[in-house]
Amino acid sequence: MAYKDASLEEIDVAVRESYFAFQSYKNLSATKRATFLRAMAQEIENLGHELVKTAMEETALPEARIVAERGRTTGHLNMFAEYIEDGSWVEARIDTAKPDRAPVPKPDLRKMLVPLGPVVVFGAANFPLAYSTAGGDTASALAAGCTVIVKAHPAHAKTSQLVADAINRAAKASGIPKGVFQHLHGANFEVGQALVKHPLTKAVGFTGSFAGGKALFDLANQRQEPIPVFAEMSSINPVILLPESLKRNYIDTAAKLAASITMGVGQFCTNPGLVIAIEHDGFNDFVNALAAKINEQHPEAMLHEGIADNYARKLGQTLAQKGVRIEAEAAGEPGKQHGKALISSATASTFLNNPLLAEEVFGPFSLLIRCADRHELHTVISNLHGQLTSTVIGDEAELMEYQNCIRALTEKAGRIVINGVPTGVEVCPAMQHGGPFPATTDSRFTAVGTDAIKRFVRPVAFQNCPEILLPDELKENNPLNIWRVYNGSWKK
Amino acid sequence: MAYKDASLEEIDVAVRESYFAFQSYKNLSATKRATFLRAMAQEIENLGHELVKTAMEETALPEARIVAERGRTTGHLNMFAEYIEDGSWVEARIDTAKPDRAPVPKPDLRKMLVPLGPVVVFGAANFPLAYSTAGGDTASALAAGCTVIVKAHPAHAKTSQLVADAINRAAKASGIPKGVFQHLHGANFEVGQALVKHPLTKAVGFTGSFAGGKALFDLANQRQEPIPVFAEMSSINPVILLPESLKRNYIDTAAKLAASITMGVGQFCTNPGLVIAIEHDGFNDFVNALAAKINEQHPEAMLHEGIADNYARKLGQTLAQKGVRIEAEAAGEPGKQHGKALISSATASTFLNNPLLAEEVFGPFSLLIRCADRHELHTVISNLHGQLTSTVIGDEAELMEYQNCIRALTEKAGRIVINGVPTGVEVCPAMQHGGPFPATTDSRFTAVGTDAIKRFVRPVAFQNCPEILLPDELKENNPLNIWRVYNGSWKK
């Protein structure tokens, strides 16, 4: 790698500059911030094929995927530009004064969301563009009015640098204060550690492994001033197959699941790592159909050697557990940096008695759980950890019959998918990409969609503040024409 | 005390029952939950003078205060009843499907807030009713659809038990599942500790000391599954006096501040513990006027002996610091459990060089900081910790002139009060009662007002879910007639 890790001094300078820039950036109008976000999107587009080529070289991801991911990245940026221009996102609440109220007058109170301060964003290995340098965390933090310090992911440092340079060009062109965006390299964990520990850092966004996210979460909580960390970490995204529908649709279900399990060499955080069903004729037909699809596969290059090694290690560990049976695997021996699709199965009681089987195996792998009956299915669901998604496949009558399962799954996951696959995370206001621990460190927030901005803001109330000193969002005549709760009613 | 601490077994049973009850309570309609909240308010009213008398005996608070606090408590409950009946609080977001979109169809996505699960609430010493058994934490958690386990504050255990019995009567009368509300006694820290560590506990609400809140926060983060703790802890609520206005209004300002400092024997979390001004003629007149008011006071009974002892200890420690001068104090020696109002002063450089002076002294105390000039004023503000409130007193022209100070204060506090005093926390949608650490453990939430409900909920998205299985809040024809973001637009 051509990039040197940032020194402790460089880290300190970057965070200080970020904090200094925050003092002016937080006061810029939404229009100015939106212009910046759109310029970022444009500058990233302007990188043209060089960006695609570099990302392909660094991540082994195919061209179509990188191009699609670039679209997702610029889409994020433009979405947040529009969202902050609209302005209603600040959750303005206004309660006007009642000077005659007895025994004490009611003051005028006006509240809105304001940015937290400098946010440290960690690039994600599996999304070199959409969850890295100009990804969802950066876009939502900058949209909120926070400044951002990106720690480039070492596995795609060159891609990250290209995007960082594009962002800096966009900042310059849009008249954004110097230092609003900072970019540091760090192959060593100490760089990230120092960034999270810096007293001027006010929040952290992370997408990656459980070990990495949890370590940053712990560090942030051990600070003299603890700060919020949104880490999206570990999810096995259970898929429940209801029996009657499976009997009828096992071929179609197997094809869809095989595609979802192997998509992007299984390197999506929503990869279906667990398939749960009641054992019956339909289930065995399904397993055979799924096995046929998996057996057709060949090992493919993963993002980097470390991920491939980890996959091989975790896979080996899982397969070594008592009661775990291989059902199908891709043909041929995997080369260096390659991951081999594999499906295994176990009974519900094997799963319930071995916590290791509930851990994520990041790669093209899924474990099928055979439940003896509906009761056992419910027990397996009740014992699941927190997940990003839970999927149920069944026709309407059967879904109604298994309502309790769906309710139990709702307690475990951020998104409930009906008759689909968990992979494919739509970017829109209704998306929830988050979930109970260990899927994320705080189930109350999302990493995708417009609500991702909420991770990086806090409310401030102004009491009896003269009109002239109020932010435009809270002025009496609503100059920005945003939706506000005015004396208890939604109004524009 | 007549109550035995809950045993570890009793704690385990309470949390298990709470979790079991959650399974049905979370599915109750908002109307049913609202009926329960209103019945709680009514049953608390029905306790009549017995409640007032008991609380007075246990806390040494005067009758008028207890009666007012009861009104605040029932007010909270009725406010949340109305809020959840209205229904728009669930932040419903709907993005309808585009089955023809290329290259992949857009799924139907619908998101809303759902309750977290069993919430442990700690009674607060200084608010035996409004922030204890049926206080803001309990009211907002029950409104959200969470179940609640209250740990009674040992200093008003009898009051807590009376309210708990009233809540149980309300639950029974409104047909609320058994176990939704649980009440445990615990003078020992171990009871609270066991409640926070219980694997089925999903969130914690706390109002009290920094030491207590921080200890629970650390415990919660050290769990195998970390859970959110909203602890409202420590704030010295700085008041900035701008020079020109002070010169004109020093008598009025001194009277208002003296009342705020000594109100409730200084036992409000928004008590103004720090007054900051630029030294000039007006300031000395102000100090004299304030001193005259404080010298008129007499020591008064605090909530309990422990709080009075702590106050005496922290006060002694502060006064022993080099450069701290006593400006005025209440007449007479304080008796057992009494707190004596006292005002001291120090220069800005003394304050800046001694971190101990920025710590809360819980009681009728304030430290006046004399700044040499505007620059020093700004430095003092920049060095403040997180606060619940910051107050600025000045006329409009002067407020404009000191805009930068107000901006800097906004970064430090949850509520900015102009030309008022920080005490008196209005309960309304626009209230923010929270603030950056150490004021609370998470500046993104509030303990007061309708938004307090957000601490105890998380979003769940449903993808391609059949209409019949969707919660009413997300059904296409909006049967509850709530405000929703529908394909990006606010609609009813």
**pLDDT tens-digit readout, A186-243:** 999 999 999 999 999 999 999 999 999 999 999 999 999 999 999 999 999 999 999 9
How far is C-alpha A354 from the geometric centre of its chain's CA atoms?
A: 28
Nearest to A420 among B107, B446, B466 (CB): B107
d(CA B120, CA B147): 9
Pair (B349, B215) in one structural domain? no
What angle (nearest 5°) sits at the alpha carbon of residue A60, between those of residues A45 and B103? 55
Between helix A403-410 and helix A374-382 the angle, nearest 10°, is: 10
Between helix B48-59 and helix B30-46 the angle, nearest 10°, is: 80
Q: What is the domain-level CATH number for residue B347?
A: 3.40.309.10
pLDDT of residue A281: 80
Strand order through the sheet with A181-184? A181-184, A148-151, A119-122, A203-207, A229-232
Instruction: Provide the residue-wise pLDDT of chain B in tens; the chain has 492 residues.
Output: 579 999 999 999 999 999 999 999 999 999 999 999 999 999 999 999 999 999 999 999 999 999 999 999 999 999 999 999 999 999 999 999 999 998 889 999 999 999 999 999 999 999 999 999 999 999 999 999 999 999 999 999 999 999 999 999 999 999 999 999 999 999 999 999 999 999 999 999 999 999 999 999 999 999 999 999 999 999 999 999 999 999 999 999 999 999 999 999 999 999 999 999 999 888 999 999 999 999 999 999 999 999 999 999 999 999 999 999 999 999 988 888 999 999 999 999 999 999 999 999 999 999 999 999 999 999 999 999 999 999 999 999 999 999 999 999 999 999 999 999 999 999 999 999 999 999 999 999 999 999 999 999 999 999 999 999 999 999 999 999 999 999 999 998
Pair (A289, A402) in one structural domain? yes
Average pLDDT over residues A400-409: 95
pLDDT of residue B1: 52
Listed residues B418, B435, B464: the one ending a domain: B418
Pair (B52, B151) in one structural domain? yes
Catalytic annotation on B269?
A: yes
How far is C-alpha A15 from the geometric centre of its chain's CA atoms?
A: 24
Instruction: Compute the radius of gyration of chain B from its Cα atoms.
Output: 24
Pair (B70, B115) in one structural domain? yes
SS (H, E, C) A182-231: EEECCCCHHHHHHHHHCCCCCEEEEECCHHHHHHHHHHHHHCCCCCCEEE
Pair (A460, A405) in one structural domain? no
Pair (A14, A39) in one structural domain? yes
d(CA B93, CA B112): 7
d(CA B138, CA B130): 10
Pair (A288, A228) in one structural domain? no
Amino acid at A274: L
The alpha carbon torsion through A113, A114, A117, A120 (nearest 10 deg) reads 40
ipTM for this model: 0.97
pLDDT of residue B80: 98
The contacts of residue A83 (CB under 8 Å, 6+ apart) are: A89, A143, A450, A453
SS (H, E, C) B317-367: HHHCCCCCEEEEECCCCCCCCEECCEEEEEEHHHHHCCHHHHCCCCCCEEE
Cβ neighbours, 10 Å, residue A336: 8
Chain B contact present for A469, CB below 8 A: yes
Which residue, among B405, B426, B484, would best test binding to A if mutated, counting the most A CBs under 10 Å from its CB? B426
What angle (nearest 5°) sits at the alpha carbon of residue B431, between those of residues B75 and A449? 115
The answer as to whether B434 is a domain residue is no
Look at residue A2 and tell me whether its pLDDT is greater than 80. Answer: no
Buried b (16+ CB within 10 A) or exposed e, B24-57: ebbebebeebbbbbbbbbbbbeebeeebbebbbe
3-state DSSP helix/strand/coil % of chain B, to nearest 5: 45, 20, 35
Q: What is the domain-level CATH number for residue A150?
A: 3.40.605.10
Q: Where are the alpha helices (H) located in A296-382, listed in sequence order?
A: 305-319, 348-352, 374-382
3-state DSSP helix/strand/coil % of chain A, to nearest 5: 45, 20, 35
Burial class (CB in 10 A: 0-12, 13-18, 19+), A67: middle
Pair (A212, A275) in one structural domain? no
Which residue, among A389, A418, A440, would best test binding to B if mutated, counting the most B CBs under 10 Å from its CB? A418
Per the structure block, which two tokens stand in for A358? Answer: 């509930």
Look at residue A323 and tell me whether its pLDDT is greater than 80. Answer: yes
Amino acid at A267: Q
Secondary structure element (H or E) that encloses residue B181, with its range = strand B181-184
Beta bridge partners of B349: none
pLDDT of residue A1: 52
B150, B191 contact by CB (below 8 A): no
Secondary structure element (H or E) that encloses residue A274, with its range = strand A274-278
The answer as to whether B428 is a domain residue is no
The answer as to whether A427 is a domain residue is no
User: Could you identify the residue written with the tokens 């007012």?
Assistant: B68
d(CA A202, CA A225): 9
d(CA B124, CA B304): 12
Catalytic annotation on B232?
A: yes
| Cis status of the peptide bond prior to B479, with omega within 30 of 0 | no
The answer as to whether B140 is a domain residue is yes
User: Could you identify the residue written with the tokens 């570890």?
Assistant: B8
d(CA A108, CA A490): 17
Buried b (16+ CB within 10 A) or exposed e, A431-455: bbbbbbbbbbbbbbbbbbbbbbbbb
Cβ neighbours, 10 Å, residue A193: 15
Q: What is the DSSP letter of A98?
A: B
Listed residues B418, B433, B456: the one ending a domain: B418
Pair (A394, A451) in one structural domain? no
Q: Which one of B43, B58, B69, B269 is the catalytic residue?
A: B269
Amino acid at B314: K
pLDDT of residue B218: 98
Which residue, among A19, A80, A111, would best test binding to B if mutated, counting the most B CBs under 10 Å from its CB? A111
A170, A142 contact by CB (below 8 A): no
Per the structure block, which two tokens stand in for B436? Answer: 């950056």
Length of chain B: 492
Residue A84's nearest CA partner among A363, A484, A482, A486 is A482
Q: Please judge whether A444 and B460 are an interchain contact, meaning their C-beta atoms are less than 8 angstroms apart.
A: no
Q: What's the domain range around B339?
A: 238-418
Pair (B308, B375) in one structural domain? yes
User: Could you identify the residue written with the tokens 């036992």?
Assistant: B267
d(CA B148, CA B135): 11
**pLDDT single digits (tens) A23-35:** 999 999 999 999 9
d(CA A126, CA A107): 51
- Judged by CB atoms within 8 Å, which residues 389-448 of B form the interface with A? 396, 399-400, 403, 406-407, 410-411, 413-420, 424, 426, 428-432, 434, 436-438, 441-444, 446
User: Could you identify the residue written with the tokens 């080529």?
Assistant: A53
pLDDT of residue B280: 86
Residues of B in contact with A417 (CB under 8 A): 463-464
Cβ neighbours, 10 Å, residue A408: 19
Pair (B379, B449) in one structural domain? no
Look at residue A325 and tell me whether its pLDDT is greater than 80. Answer: yes
- Give A139 to chain B, closest Cα distance, Å: 18
d(CA A310, CA A427): 29
d(CA A469, CA B409): 13
Cβ neighbours, 10 Å, residue A304: 18
How far is C-alpha A3 from the geometric centre of its chain's CA atoms?
A: 27
d(CA A336, CA A84): 45
Q: Is B323 left (phi over 0), alpha (psi -120 to 50) or beta?
A: left
Q: Please judge whether B454 and A442 are an interchain contact, meaning their C-beta atoms are less than 8 angstroms apart.
A: no
d(CA B213, CA A284): 54
Residue B309's nearest CA partner among B342, B337, B329 is B337
pLDDT of residue B416: 98
d(CA A341, CA A334): 10
Residues of A in contact with B459 (CB under 8 A): 414, 432, 434, 444, 446, 451
The answer as to whether B286 is a domain residue is yes
Amino acid at A102: A
d(CA A120, CA A162): 19
The answer as to whether A433 is a domain residue is no
Listed residues B385, B418, B451: the one ending a domain: B418
Per the structure block, which two tokens stand in for B289? Answer: 């006027």
Per the structure block, which two tokens stand in for B167? Answer: 């809540």
Pair (A224, A364) in one structural domain? no
Number of folded domains in chain A? 2
Per the structure block, which two tokens stand in for B251? Answer: 């008598």
Nearest to A106 among B227, B417, B426 (CB): B426
A341, A289 contact by CB (below 8 A): no
* Inter-CA distances, B122 with A480, B21, B44, B148, B216, Å: 41, 20, 19, 10, 10
- Give A15 to chain B, closest Cα distance, Å: 17
Look at residue A313 and tell me whether its pLDDT is greater than 60. Answer: yes
A270, A423 contact by CB (below 8 A): yes
SS (H, E, C) B210-239: HHHHHHHHHHHHHCCCCCCEEEECCCCCEE
Chain B contact present for A165, CB below 8 A: no
The answer as to whether A457 is a domain residue is yes
Burial class (CB in 10 A: 0-12, 13-18, 19+), B11: buried
The answer as to whether B58 is a domain residue is yes
Beta bridge partners of A489: A486
